[in-house]
């Protein structure tokens, strides 16, 4: 009896010891997690829109590349370049992700602590021309006399669209009726509701309209426009000067995302970024990624070259949105992107 009692006590003691060890290990793990969190530096990034078009950035988020670089990233969607720029200038966001035309506008308006672009993500337009009816052999001539939902005046989607029209000898003011009163985030719903003969759509808007039988993709603005510096990461001049190491770490994480999309299949990319787009199934995401992948939307590096910047200003001038050209050296730094590419 004593032996049985002693055995029982030994088992109980051993169990208690194990439990205590586990508890200590869990506490240690929790404390370790807290220490890890405190080591990370909080960075707020305001993106102009949440789109599969920006896949390399979401790969960097989902693969923990930012955490690996010591960054606790808070991602906020601004829903428009004007709102994203306001967030950066006011200090609500540390970094902005938007069309670089916004940095030119702000600079020309005389901002002292203006925004500087330090990493270019996309090199082609990410939107598509969607027709209400299927067109087998689409020609830009098909737009003459038609109404197109084109997006906000002065924004990159609308300006690139007009640039393409002019390249095809179509006068945007005389030959086509472009509706510029609808925010780009609402054009798909407006088109689905019966407005316009064509609409210029980002993804997943274009694919969603096709899937619902409400529209048909007839052209890629990215292919038609050629290489255009469509979106870039930027921060206030003072922020870049005060936090160079942090900006370098941020850019290094982005470069890892760029490396991933350039060395993996659309199917693999889609699986990684799927948590960012829970409203879309994997098949839809894969279709969209494939479209961007095939037209070489994403650069191999993040370096914002001068010829791309000057092309952007050409497009702005052509659209009548640029009073005076701005110096490349003032609004672009390649320091961080070049280091990240090594």
Q: How far apart are CA 118 and CA 334, in angstroms?
A: 6
25: confidence class by pLDDT, cuts 50, 70, 90: very low
308 and 323 both lie in a single domain: yes
104 and 133 both lie in a single domain: no
38: confidence class by pLDDT, cuts 50, 70, 90: low
237 and 336 both lie in a single domain: yes
Q: What kind and span of H or E run contains 10?
A: helix 2-39
Q: Is residue 19 part of a domain?
A: no
93 and 242 both lie in a single domain: yes
The per-residue pLDDT for 27 is 46
116 and 252 both lie in a single domain: yes
CATH number of the domain where residue 177 is located: 3.40.190.10
**What is the average pLDDT value for the chain, to the nearest integer?**
88
84 and 54 both lie in a single domain: yes
Query: What range defines the domain where residue 175 resides?
Result: 128-225
The per-residue pLDDT for 21 is 46
Q: Is residue 234 part of a domain?
A: yes
pLDDT digits (tens, 9 = 90+) for 300-338: 999 999 999 999 999 999 888 998 999 999 999 999 999
DSSP 112: S
The per-residue pLDDT for 219 is 96
Structural domains in the chain (count): 2
Of 185, 203, 225, the domain-final residue:
225
Q: Are strands 41-47 and 231-236 parallel, antiparallel or unpaired?
A: unpaired
CB-based contact 80:96 (threshold 8 Å): no
Of 193, 209, 225, the domain-final residue:
225
Q: Is residue 282 part of a domain?
A: yes
Q: Is residue 290 part of a domain?
A: yes
Least confident of 107-111, 150-154, 166-170, 305-309: 150-154
Of 198, 225, 252, the domain-final residue:
225
Q: Is residue 327 part of a domain?
A: yes
Q: Which residue has the higher pLDDT, 134 or 29?
A: 134
pLDDT digits (tens, 9 = 90+) for 88-112: 999 999 999 999 999 999 999 999 9
Q: How far apart are CA 120 and CA 36, in angstroms?
A: 30
Percent with pLDDT over 90 in the chain: 73
CB-based contact 225:168 (threshold 8 Å): no
């Amino acid at each position: 009896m004593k032996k049985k009692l002693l055995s029982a006590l030994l088992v109980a003691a051993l169990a208690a010891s194990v439990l205590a060890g586990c508890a200590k290990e869990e506490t240690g793990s929790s404390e370790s997690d807290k220490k890890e969190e405190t080591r990370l530096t909080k960075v707020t990034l305001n993106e102009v829109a949440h789109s599969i078009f920006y896949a390399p950035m979401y790969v960097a988020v989902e693969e923990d590349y930012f955490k690996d670089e010591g960054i606790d990233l808070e991602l906020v969607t601004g829903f428009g370049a004007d709102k994203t720029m306001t967030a950066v200038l006011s200090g609500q966001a540390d970094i902005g992700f938007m069309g670089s035309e916004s940095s030119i506008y702000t600079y020309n308006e005389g901002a002292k602590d203006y925004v500087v672009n330090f990493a270019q993500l996309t090199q082609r337009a990410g939107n598509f021309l969607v027709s209400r009816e299927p067109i087998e052999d689409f020609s830009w001539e098909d737009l003459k006399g038609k109404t197109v939902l084109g997006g906000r005046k002065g924004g990159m989607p609308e300006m690139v669209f007009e640039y393409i029209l002019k390249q095809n000898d179509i006068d945007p003011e005389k030959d086509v009726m472009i509706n510029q009163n609808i925010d780009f985030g609402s054009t798909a719903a407006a088109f689905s509701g019966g407005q316009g003969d064509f609409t210029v759509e980002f993804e997943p808007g274009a694919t969603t309209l096709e899937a619902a039988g409400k529209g048909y993709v007839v052209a890629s603005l990215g292919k038609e426009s050629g290489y255009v510096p469509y979106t870039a990461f930027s921060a206030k001049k003072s922020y870049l000067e005060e936090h160079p190491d942090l900006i370098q770490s941020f850019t290094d994480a982005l470069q890892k995302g760029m490396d991933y999309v350039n060395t993996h299949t659309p199917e693999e990319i889609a699986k990684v970024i799927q948590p960012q787009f829970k409203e879309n199934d994997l098949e839809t995401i894969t279709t969209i990624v494939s479209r961007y992948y095939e037209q070489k939307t994403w650069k191999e590096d993040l370096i914002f070259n001068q010829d791309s910047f000057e092309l952007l200003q050409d497009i702005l001038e052509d659209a009548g949105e640029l009073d005076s050209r701005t110096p490349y050296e003032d609004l672009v730094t390649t320091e961080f992107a070049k280091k990240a590419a090594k």
